[in-house]
Chains A and B, each alone.
Chain A
């Protein structure tokens, strides 16, 4: 602590003595030296949500590539990723270890709504950036009360509103059956969808069924939804249950119009196991490219990603959409660090994170960019509807940016 104060004081003195507003002045927050930037991260490498551990591994591999290419402005990224097993108490412990013991400059991509909620107050009280958290809850876009916390991906409620708007316009007499995971993520989608339907929600939504992550299947719920007479199905589920639901709906002869949340829109790890025939006609929203989608096969960004995977994540499953996500979000982080230049204080990092203008992240879809401002902490807001034609996601309509 003392060291840091001295350093800041020294830097301040240097600044006043020095010749005015020269950008080359070095200002360092904790965890930063001339050769290194310490970035903390919290991910579930163990426990029930360990599937998401792939994101942490992907980010580490991306930073390794950045370091191999000389780092960010000559500084290597020291990426310290801790395991919280998707448990809030462990997340608090990990966050405090990163901030107090390891003296990380910031915490990046901490995963899961419960874990991030648990450290939300702490990070803001300590004034440490909690950047680009890996959850789509709506509450991360609240710069007024939580200046130090920012999300990254499109918010769940916003996405659900897109489906609602589409339904109101194209199928106003739909009878909707909803399957959702009984936790914060499922409820966020559900609430956004109901809000989007507004007054018509009462008449349009004919059945709501929930499941727990510990449930072996969702078969029974699907049978109930089918029996409710619904002709439209909103599938708010994580990959395993999404694949089960799509297949069971097909097998039971239920042929509704299906909306599938973006969380489970990966072709290789959801639609392929569920069956291409079974998945045909499903509608989702997309904002990033999908490795299994043939339309991106020759995209230069996708080829670069492919080469990166071969070199830095040999043997990893390329159909796992989490690696695309990791690549994109790590790119955004590096962009913030580049913008911050030599002023690597926590305040400036946060300022730069809130000053991303029209940033084109390689594997985001055309027309979708990362934009933030001091009053807008939602880096990716826009998404596009897409329909699965049995082989690839066929995007349709405009890029939509819900507020």
Chain B
């Protein structure tokens, strides 16, 4: 029972990271109708920016906010300058540009900051509140931050005119243009916000896995899986999906016989895909009815 609880809480703790990445995925999907393969690498790059700021003596929370701001501007610039020329050509062309971005960010980070792992500080106190011991203080903080970001994203899309305009621009650019929405800038805004959320995910994950250029590669897959499992159109679902993926992976690794750690990811993915076969729009997503 002890093992069960530990694996579950550990899964939840890491699920918080997946959830945070999943939120960034949802953000970019809501804003652009695409998945961005370079998202993880952009988050990693942002984290290095935070690392550099901290290294130069900037206090943690200032560095945190500054990194979010820089990432936001960076995201907007990437969209305006690099992605813009291929927008609307075809999904695959955009995917290739994303892959190109992934390679560039990964390689640049290694070039600038070297490949050795760097410790990244956690902003949270050494002890979790309420005397909780099953879950580390940082993990606890991660879950809290994830829920806060979730609330912000949810409120943004539900209650602000910009959020609404952004969704409109992504889902039906032509009609959106007709009602006076500046579709191009909405896309850029979406990229900026997704980059900012990604930077939060990066700064939350780095204290756990250590900062290095390949830090986000594995995590992005879990983020995608979480977002799709929960429902890509639904931030709440995506966060739930992220937590589920974290817990599921640990359970599979611990309890499914003959699988052990060697195949735990494989089995977890098979389970997720199976769920998606039966619920093609995710556990919490709504079914899209298409017109002919």
Contacts and interface: CB of A to CB of B under 8 A. Distances in A.
**A and B: direct contact (Cβ < 8 Å)?**
yes
Interface of A: 46, 48, 50-51, 53-54, 182, 209-212, 214-217, 219-221, 223-224, 227, 239-240, 243-244, 251-252, 268-270, 272-273, 316-317, 319-320
Contacts of B218: 214-216
Contacts of B213: 50
Central interface residue in A50, A219, A220, A224, by most chain B CB within 10 Å: A220
B11 A220 contact: yes
Contact of A216 (B117, B219, B253): B219
Nearest to A54: B115
Central interface residue in B116, B119, B208, B253, by most chain A CB within 10 Å: B116
18 contacts: A50-B110, A50-B115, A51-B110, A182-B261, A182-B262, A214-B265, A216-B14, A216-B222, A217-B14, A220-B249, A220-B254, A220-B264, A224-B261, A268-B116, A273-B117, A316-B114, A317-B114, A317-B116
Nearest to B251: A220
A239 B222 CA distance: 22
Nearest to A211: B261
B10 A220 contact: yes
A210 B209 contact: no
A46 B10 CA distance: 32
A234 to B, nearest CB: 15
B253 A224 contact: yes
Contacts of A227: 2-3, 6
Interface string B202-226: 0001001110111001110110000
Contact of B214 (A48, A54, A219): A48
A325 to B, nearest CB: 13
Contacts of B14: 216-217, 219
A151 to B, nearest CB: 23
A402 to B, nearest CB: 28
Interface string B109-125: 01000111111000000
A158 to B, nearest CB: 26
Nearest to B115: A51
A220 B267 CA distance: 15
A330 to B, nearest CB: 19
Contact of B254 (A216, A224, A251, A316): A224
B260 A209 contact: yes
Nearest to B118: A273
B136 interface: yes
A54 B115 CA distance: 8
A223 B11 CA distance: 11
B281 interface: no
Given A210-B262, A224-B253, A243-B210, 20 more contacts: A50-B107, A53-B110, A182-B261, A182-B262, A209-B260, A210-B261, A214-B265, A215-B218, A216-B14, A216-B209, A216-B222, A220-B11, A220-B250, A223-B3, A223-B6, A224-B3, A227-B6, A244-B209, A251-B136, A270-B117
B7 interface: yes
A268 B10 CA distance: 28
Contacts of B110: 50-51, 53
Contacts of B10: 219-220, 223
Nearest to A242: B117
Contacts of B116: 51, 239, 268-269, 317, 319-320
A86 B260 CA distance: 27
A191 to B, nearest CB: 16
A146 B2 CA distance: 52
Contacts of A53: 110, 115
Contacts of A220: 7, 10-11, 249-250, 253-254, 261, 264
A273 B121 CA distance: 10
A217 B217 contact: no
A121 B11 CA distance: 45
B204 to A, nearest CB: 12
A227 B114 CA distance: 36
Contact of A215 (B3, B6, B11, B265): B265
Nearest to A46: B107
B3 A240 contact: no
A46 B111 CA distance: 10
A363 B249 CA distance: 44
A67 B14 CA distance: 51
The 5 closest A-B pairs by CB, nearest first: A51-B115, A273-B119, A269-B116, A227-B3, A216-B218
A320 B114 contact: yes
Contacts of B17: 216
Nearest to B214: A48
Central interface residue in A211, A219, A268, A319, by most chain B CB within 10 Å: A219
A251 B122 CA distance: 14
A105 B265 CA distance: 45
Contacts of A244: 208-210
Contacts of B118: 273
B262 A240 contact: no
A226 B81 CA distance: 51
A48 B212 CA distance: 11
A65 B212 CA distance: 30
Contacts of B222: 216
A207 to B, nearest CB: 10
A317 B110 CA distance: 12
B191 to A, nearest CB: 25
A211 B219 CA distance: 14
Contacts of A223: 3, 6-7, 10
Contacts of A214: 217-218, 221, 265
B209 A217 contact: yes
Nearest to B211: A273
A220 B17 CA distance: 15
A214 B114 CA distance: 19
A269 B262 contact: no
